[in-house]
Structure 1
């Protein structure tokens, strides 16, 4: 498994500038091998990780699961 380190703030700023979603970027990274994406803060401290699946079908399942969990967390804040 390959590890990919990403500075979270720069990554999400780039997504805003390019008006694209992280799922589109993740889809472009799929090549049949599983990868661990490691998101770091500006001080190189671990924020979170994501295991990029080896196929688009699983990525779509992850996207839906993430959207559901995110929606539930947002509704809990209201």
Structure 2
């Protein structure tokens, strides 16, 4: 399994500038090998990680689950 480290602030800024979603980027990274994506803050400390699956179907399942959990967290803030 490959480990990929990404600076979170730069990554999400790039997504905004390109007007794309992280899921589109993740889909482009799929090549049949599972990868661990490690998101770092500006001080190189781990914020969170995501295990990129080896196929699009699993990525779509992850995206749906993320959307449900995110919506649930947002509704809890109101």
Q: For the superposition of Structure 1 and Structure 2, which TM-score range results when normalised by the shorter chain?
A: over 0.9
Distance (Å, rounded) in 2 between the aligned partners of 1:37 and 1:4: 5
Tell me the TM-score normalized by structure 2.
Answer: 1.00
Q: Which runs of 5+ in 1 are unaligned?
A: none
Runs of 4+ in 1 over 6 A off after TM superposition: none
Give runs of aligned pairs for residues 47-58 of structure 1, distance below 5 A.
Answer: 47-58=47-58
Q: Which runs of 5+ in 2 are unaligned?
A: none
Tell me the TM-score normalized by structure 1.
Answer: 1.00
- Give the paired residue count: 78
Deviations 1:2-45 (A, max 9, x none): 00000000000000000000000000000000000000000000
The two structures, once aligned, show a CA RMSD in angstroms of: 0.1
